[in-house]
Amino acid sequence: MNSLITYLLSFRLLYLIGGGFLFYLVSVFIDPIFIPVLPMPEDFCQKWVETRSGYQRQTECVEFRGKPDELKYRHNRKMEARQANKMMGLFIAASAITFLLMLLNPPLLFGSQVSIENYQGAIATAIFFGVIIGFVLPTIFQILLPPPEHWMPLELLDIRTARVEFILKKITKLSK
C-alpha cells in the first residue's frame, strides 16, 4: 500500500494529470478565438457525394440550397482542418516539453541520464507522454467536466460570438 501511495505522488503521475489538464485548458481557450464554427441549417445540402482518399471515406456536399450555405459549409470545412492542426500542435508541444524536461532533469521522467546512447528511448518516452498529455487526458477531461460554455470567462464567449457574427456578415456580403 505504501508503494502505491508513493507512485501516485510521484512526479510522473502528477506531470501526466497536471499536463493533461493544462493542455485541456489551452485547447478549450484556443477554440472560441481561432476555430469559430458556424451553425448550419439541417437542409443546407441537396446532394451528397461519397469520396475516397486512400482508405478514408467521407461524404461531401456538392449541391447547396444557396450560396450562403455553401460558404458556411466551406468555412466549417476549413475549421475542421484547423482543429486537426491544433491537435497536432498540442501533441508536438506536449512531446517537446516532456523531452526538454528529460534533458534538464532526466531522473524525473526517464529514470537515468539522457545521453547520445539513449536518445531514442528518451524520444519514444516523450512521444508516449505527448500522446497521453496532448490527446488522451484532454479528451477524458472534456468528457468528465461540464461544457466550457458553463465556466469559461464571458469575454471569450463574447469574442466567439463577435467572430461568428463577423464571418456571417462577410458571407452575406459575398453571397450577394
Mean pLDDT of the chain: 85
With vertex at residue 136, the alpha carbon angle to CA 74 and CA 109, rounded to the nearest 5 degrees, is 135
pLDDT of res. 13: 81
Q: Is 46 a domain residue? A: no
Q: Which residue has the higher pLDDT, 168 or 124?
A: 168
Residue 122 lies in a domain: yes
Residue 47 lies in a domain: no
pLDDT band at 91 (very low <50, low <70, confident <90, very high): very high
Domains: count for the chain: 1
Could you tell me the sign of the dihedral formed by the alpha carbons of 173, 74, 138, 131, in that order?
Answer: negative
Cβ–Cβ < 8 Å for 122, 99: yes
Average pLDDT of the residues in 84-102: 90
| Contacts of residue 44, Cβ cutoff 8 Å, sequence gap at least 6 | 61, 64, 65, 69, 72, 73
Spatial neighbors of 111 by CB under 8 A, at least 6 apart, are none
Q: Is residue 70 part of a domain?
A: yes
CA 45 to chain centre: 28
What does the pLDDT look like over 23-39, one tens digit per residue?
A: 999 999 998 888 888 88
Instruction: Indicate whether this model's pTM tops 0.85.
Output: no
* CA dist., res. 83 & res. 164, Å (int): 16
Q: Which of 48-62, 99-113, 150-164 has the highest mean pLDDT?
A: 150-164
Whether residue 57 is contained in a domain is answered as: no
* Residue 59 placed within a domain: no
Residue 81 domain-assigned? yes
Show the domain range for 159: 11-39+66-174
Q: How far apart are the first and last CA of the chain?
A: 70
**1 lies in some domain:** no
